[in-house]
Amino acid sequence: MGVLCNSPIHEKFQALVMTLLHFKTYVPNVSDKIRDFCIDNTGVTHEIVEALLANPDKEMINEESCYVHCVLIETGFLAENGEINIKQFEHLKGNKFSDIDLNCLKSIQVLEHCNETMLLRTCNA
């Protein structure tokens, strides 16, 4: 389920993606449909998701990383195989966030496992 770059849902996920790139950024609640899907798929609890929303600065545990990985797939920032959708990140860079290092994202290319999600934080220019 990809998300169009100009959709309201896309705007909600800009902060989520930036959380992966920065340590101190607000994490919004995602749509109930995506949230419930990713909770069911990853086995995290609502409490774990709420804790992540309350404290996005913290180092993510595996369950949280898997939840965020799922959200990134469902919003089109990652393909089903974990390939990074550079075009989605380019839209972020073009809108508000000029500190995304697209070359860094290109060097990572794929996040096959959810425990690799934190690698996105290294792409903060």
For residue 50, give its domain range: 8-123
DSSP 116: G
Q: Above 80 in pLDDT, residue 5?
A: no
Q: Closest Cα partner for 27 from 59, 51, 47?
A: 51
- Is the CA virtual torsion 5, 6, 10, 15 positive or negative? positive
Query: Is 97 a domain residue?
Result: yes
Read off φ and ψ for residue 27, nearest 5 degrees: -105, 115
Query: Is 57 a domain residue?
Result: yes
pLDDT at position 125 is: 61
Query: Is 3 a domain residue?
Result: no
Query: Is 86 a domain residue?
Result: yes
Query: Is 36 a domain residue?
Result: yes
What total number of domains does the chain contain?
1
Number of residues assigned to the chain: 125
pLDDT at position 109 is: 92
Q: Which residue has the tokens 């934080």?
A: 121
Query: Is 2 a domain residue?
Result: no
Query: Is 77 a domain residue?
Result: yes
CATH code where residue 53 lies? 1.10.238.20
Both tokens assigned to 123: 């792409």
* Contact between 30 and 8 (Cβ < 8 Å): no
- What's this model's pTM, rounded to 2 decimal places? 0.73
pLDDT at position 119 is: 86
Give the tens place of pLDDT for each residue, 87-122: 888 877 665 555 778 899 999 999 999 889 888 878
Give the tens place of pLDDT for each residue, 31-69: 788 888 999 999 999 898 888 877 766 788 888 889 889
pLDDT at position 95 is: 58
Query: Is 1 a domain residue?
Result: no
Rg, Å, the chain Cα set: 13
